[in-house]
Structure 1
Amino acid sequence: MEITELASEDVVTVYLDESILEVAETLREERVGSAVVLDSNDDVLGVVTDRDLVVYGQQFVDSLATTTVNDILSMGVLSVGPDESVLGLTELMREEGVRRVPVVEDGEILGIVTLDDVIVGLAEDLESPELENLAAVIEAESPRGRSGPDDDR
């Protein structure tokens, strides 16, 4: 299984100077839990998550409109290339304590791989009923897989 097979090519991005209110709105509109953070040159700086907004952003509750991603983003770019092995990816995720990793080649974002993507991919490869059940739960609970308050359902 290749990383590019697991990666979602539909990557939501935000810029370092966007306010955390703008980022929260983007995550809500796109129905995702994270966005890749770019600088003004479109270079990848990291990933900001809905959890980051809550845990780290709460200290800025009185200035949400003026607090930027830069104020809450952990420094240090973490990404993999398209040739990275799934084992290498999962080791990196474990060592760094992350669940989402951008796939980047020559400065261009090719996609993003999440822990959920890895589990779903392994379930397909291993043909394990237990993993297939887990993958079905993940897919049903995926922000893009369920309806939201703005849907007609």
Structure 2
Amino acid sequence: MNTLAPVSEIMTSDLITVNPEDKLEQVQEIFNKHRIHHVPVVRYKEIVGMISKSDVLYFLRGLTNNSYEKVLNDVRLKNYTAKDIMTKGIAKLSSKDRIAVALEIFKENLFHAIPVVDDGELVGILTTYDIIKKLTERKTNT
């Protein structure tokens, strides 16, 4: 992989997003239906936060077979919104930033997804999975 190439070459641009006011029930449905692990929280095309599948699981940390816990989790999912658990103040990339910049950000932090923003508008997301996918494509083609 050419780490001097722009992140636009490997980012995901077909985005699934949520609004800050969307219920966590909707967020969980998105994770389950689309088999993704990160969803940007967007208000008027501007990213205001990020939610990972781990964030939702941590919020529901009482996951158990106990029927009381299941009811409690259902109530939580229906009453809390994306803005209640989203991570704010997240790192961002430009589509023109080099992949090497993204690798440094991933190396120095504990998150696995970085929104890609041009002129204040969300245009993509780069995940560690995107990078791994690109690396394995190259190995397969060699």
**If the TM-score is normalised by the length of the shorter chain, which range does it land in?**
0.7 to 0.9
Contact kept, 8 Å, 2:7 with 2:95, in 1: the verdict is yes
Residue 93 of structure 1 corresponds to which residue in structure 2? 106
| Match among 119, 122, 138 for residue 109 of structure 1 | 122
Go from structure 1 to structure 2 and tell me whether the alpha carbon gap of 1:66 and 1:87 turns closer, same or farther (over 3 Å shift): same
Q: Which amino acid aligns with 1:29?
A: K
Go from structure 1 to structure 2 and tell me whether the alpha carbon gap of 1:105 and 1:57 turns closer, same or farther (over 3 Å shift): farther
How many residues matched? Answer: 126
Q: Which amino acid aligns with 1:76?
A: G
Contact kept, 8 Å, 1:12 with 1:34, in 2: the verdict is no
1:43 and 2:46 correspond: yes
| Match among 54, 58, 67 for residue 55 of structure 1 | 58
Give me the identity figure in percent.
Answer: 24
> What does residue range 118-129 of structure 1 map to in structure 2 within 5 Å?
118-125=131-138, 127=139
Residue 80 of structure 1 corresponds to which residue in structure 2? 93
Shift of 1:42: 2.8
CA RMSD of aligned residues (A): 2.0
Contact kept, 8 Å, 1:57 with 1:72, in 2: the verdict is no
Contact kept, 8 Å, 1:20 with 1:57, in 2: the verdict is no
1:15 and 2:33 correspond: no
| Match among 2, 24, 29 for residue 25 of structure 1 | 29
Go from structure 1 to structure 2 and tell me whether the alpha carbon gap of 1:123 and 1:101 turns closer, same or farther (over 3 Å shift): same
Gap regions ≥5 residues in structure 2:
63-71
Gap regions ≥5 residues in structure 1:
133-153
Shift of 1:77: 2.8
Q: Which runs of 4+ in 1 moved over 6 A?
A: none
Instruction: Write the distance in 2 (CA, Å) between the matches of 1:11 and 1:57.
Output: 25
